[in-house]
Chain A
C-alpha cells in the first residue's frame, strides 16, 4: 500500500513543478520514514553520494566538454563547409547540408540540444537568407539533430546503459545503422519538400571546392575516427574515449587550427557542468527511490502483472512504445530514462527482449519526444534560433517526425536493423 502512496506522492510533486530530482528524493525519504521510522535517515546522504559516484557517467560531462571545445575552435564551421561542397548542389541544398553535418557532428558530440544550438545558429540564418521559410529551417535542423541521440556517442545511451546494465559500446554500435538510415530518409523527405516549395540549391558542384574544404576539414574528420575507433576496438572504454575526445578536440583546435575562443569555451564549460549536474542529481536521487522500489519488489511485480496479460515480445514492445511516446511529450529524455528504465527493465528481460535492442527503441522514442511540444528541448532551441512559433514549425515538422516514426517502427519490429552489427562484432 505504501508503494502506491509513494508513487502518487511522487506524481503530485512532479505535477506541482517541484524539480523531478527533488521529487524523487522527497518521495523516497517519505517512504523510508513510513516503513522504518527515522532509523534509516542518516543513510540518505551516503546513498545520495554513492549514487553520483559512477565512473561510466564521467563520459557525460566529457562528451559535453568535447562538443564545447569543437564549437569554440571552428570545427563545426569547417564541417559545414565540407558538407556544403559535397551535397550543396542538389535542390534544397542547405537542408541537405544541415542533415549531413548533423550526421557528422553527432559522431563527436553527445547531445542533441548542443548540436541544434551549434549547427542551427549557423545554418538556420543561412537558410533564411536563401529564401527558405523559417519554419522549414527550424524543423529540418531540429529533426536532424535528433539523430544525435541514436548515433554514437550519445548521452542518453550512456545514461540508459548505466541504468539498465547494458554495454555502452554495444549501444553505440547498435545506433549506427538506424542513425544513417534515418539521416538518408530525412534527406529524401527534405528533397521532396524543397522541390515542392521551390527552395534553391546552395552552390554549384566543383571538385576544386571539395578538395579545398576537405583539406581544411581533414583534421576535424579525424576526430570521430579517433573517438569511435578507440571505443569500438576496445582500446579505451567509453569514458576514456570521451577523455580522448576532449584531448583530440583541444589539440586540433588549439594546435592545428589555432583558433580557440576562450570566452565562449568558458561559458560552454559552465553550461556543460550545469547540464551534467542536473542529470547527475536525478541519477543520485533516483538511487534513493531505487533502493526502496527494489526492496519492495515493485518492478518485478509490475512485470509479472503485465506479462499475465500477454507474453508476446511484440505486444510488450508496442505497449512500451506508446508509453514512451506519451512520456516523451512531457518529460526531458534524461529524466524519462532515469525514472522509467529501472521500473521496466525486469519486464523487458522477462519478455525476452535484448536490452540493447530495447535501449535503441527507447532512445528513438525519446528522440521523437524532443520534437513534440509541450516539452521538446531540441525543437524549442531550434525555434528560438529561427525566431519562429513552435506550432507553425511543428506543422512542417510532421513530415520529419513521420520519418523518425518509420525508423522507430523498423527498429522495433526488425531487430536485425540495430542488432546486426552488434551480433557480428560483439556476441
Chain B
C-alpha cells in the first residue's frame, strides 16, 4: 500500500517536472492511472479486513439479534459471491489477454495490468473471510 501510494506521488511529481523541463513523458499519466486502479483493488481488500467499506448499518442494528445474524449471513454471501464471480471472470479475461501488450505502452503486458482485478477480488474474499469471526461475534454480543 505504502509502496503504491508513494510511487504514485513520485510518478506525478516526476511527470510534472519533466513536462516543465520540456520533455513530456507520454506514458506517465497512463501508468499513474493504472497504479490508481491497483491501489483501488488491493486497498479494497485491506479495507474489507478493517471493516472500512461504506455501508448503511443503522437499519440492521435496529433489528433483533436473530434477524441481525441472518442478515449478516446474507450479506457475507452476497459480498463473497460478487467477488468470486469477479475473480472467475477476471481469470478468464487474463487467459483471453494472453501475451498481448497495451497499445499505448507496448512494453507493458496487458495481463499484468488487469491482474489487479482478479487478484484483488481473491484477496477481498480472503480478507472478508478473515474479518467474519469478528463481525459474527459483534452481532452476537449486542
Give chain A's interface residues, CB within 8 Å of chain B: 13-23, 25-26, 29, 41-42, 44-46, 48-49, 52-55, 57-58, 61-62, 65, 236, 239-240, 242-244, 246-247, 266, 269-270, 272-278, 280-284, 330-332, 334-335, 374-375
Contact = CB atoms under 8 A, between A and B. Distances in A.
Contact of A15 (B4, B59, B81): B59
B56 A240 contact: no
Nearest to B38: A52
Nearest to A41: B89
Given A58-B36, A280-B36, A281-B40, A21 B53 contact: yes
Given A17-B57, A62-B12, A246-B13, A270 B1 contact: yes
CB-CB nearest 10 A-B residue pairs: A277-B43, A243-B12, A19-B53, A280-B40, A52-B37, A45-B90, A273-B1, A52-B40, A17-B60, A45-B117
Contact of B8 (A20, A21, A58, A335): A58
A18 to B, nearest CB: 5
A277 B42 contact: yes
A273 B53 CA distance: 13
15 contacts: A20-B53, A22-B53, A44-B85, A48-B86, A52-B41, A54-B36, A55-B36, A58-B12, A240-B12, A243-B12, A243-B13, A243-B16, A276-B40, A277-B41, A280-B36
Contact of B93 (A46, A53, A278, A332): A46
A42 B92 CA distance: 7
B37 to A, nearest CB: 4
Interface residues of B, number: 56
B4 A273 contact: yes
Contacts of A13: 78
Interface of B: 1-2, 4-6, 8-9, 12-13, 15-16, 29, 32-37, 39-44, 46-47, 50, 52-60, 71, 74-75, 78-79, 81-83, 85-86, 89-90, 92-93, 96, 113-114, 116-118
A20 B56 contact: yes
A52 B36 contact: yes
Contacts of A272: 5
A277 B39 contact: yes
Given A62-B9, A240-B15, 20 more contacts: A16-B71, A16-B74, A17-B57, A21-B44, A22-B82, A23-B78, A29-B82, A45-B114, A45-B117, A49-B113, A49-B114, A53-B33, A243-B9, A270-B2, A273-B5, A273-B39, A274-B47, A276-B5, A277-B40, A280-B39
Contacts of B29: 55
